[in-house]
Amino acid sequence: AMARRFFVGGNWKMNGNKESLEQLITILNTASLDDQTEVVCAAPSIYLDFARSLLDPGIGVSAQNCYKVAKGAFTGEISPAMIKDCGADWVILGHSERRHVFGESDELIGQKVAHALESDLGVIACIGEKLEEREAGTTEEVVYAQTQVIAENVTDWGKVVLAYEPVWAIGTGKTATPEQAQEVHEKLRAWFRANVSDDVAESLRIIYGGSVTGANCRELASQGDVDGFLVGGASLKPEFVDIINARA
C-alpha cells in the first residue's frame, strides 16, 4: 500500500478579522509542525490575499467555496481563476453548510468540482449524512450517492481530498467515535475500489471532519483509513497545532 500523506485542513468558516487572523497565523508560522503533514488553511474569500501574504509558504491556502465558471455576471461569487490569482491552491466544495444552509444541490457541487479541477485548483470535496439519515440506517446510501456525483466530475484524483463530515458531528461537540469514522472511511475506500480503481482507492486521502479537537485527534488519526482532518472551530485556536501534529 502506498503511504498517503496526512492532510490537515483548517476551515475558518465565517470567522476572524485581520487582527485575530494575524495572531493565529503568527502561532502557525512559529510552531513546530510535523513536516510529514500537509497543512491547508481555508480563509474567508475576502481574506485569501491577506492569509496567503502572511502564512508560511509551506502552509497552503484554500477558499471555502467558488462558482462553476471563470467569470461573468454572477454577483457575489468568486471563481477558481480569482482564487489562484490570490495565490491560493485549494477550494472546499460541497461542505454541509453549503448543502444545507445555502441549498446547493449535488448537481451544482459536481459542476463546481469539475470547473475547479479544470482550473488546476485542488479540491477538498465534502460528503456526510445528517442525524436522521444515520438513525434511519441510510449513511452508506447517502455518502455513496454524494461521492458518485463528485466522482463523475473528476478525471485527476491527485488533486482531490475527500472529507467525510457527519453533519450531526459538525460544531455539535458530538464526534464520531474513531470506530465509527474508520467504518465509513473503510467503506468509502471500498466504494472507490469497486467504482473507480484500486490505484485511486489506495492513494486518495479520505479525511474526517466533525468536532475534531486536540483531545480526540490522536485516537482518530490512528485509524488506518483516516488520512487527516478538516477542522472547524479548533482551527482558530492554538490547539490546531496539536491536531496538525496528531501523528507526530
Which residues are known catalytic residues?
95, 165
Using alpha carbons, select from 223, 233, 126 the residue that is nearest to residue 246: 223
Question: What letter represents residue 190's amino acid?
Answer: A
* Residue 162 · residue 201 · CB < 8 Å: no
The DSSP bridge pattern shows strands 160-164 and 122-127 to be: parallel
| CA-to-CA dists, residue 57 to 36, 44, 53, 80, angstroms | 15, 18, 9, 20
Torsion angle (degrees, nearest 10) of CA 124, 57, 224, 64: -20
Query: Which regions of the chain does DSSP assign to beta strands (E)?
Result: 7-11, 38-42, 60-63, 90-93, 122-127, 160-164, 205-209, 228-231
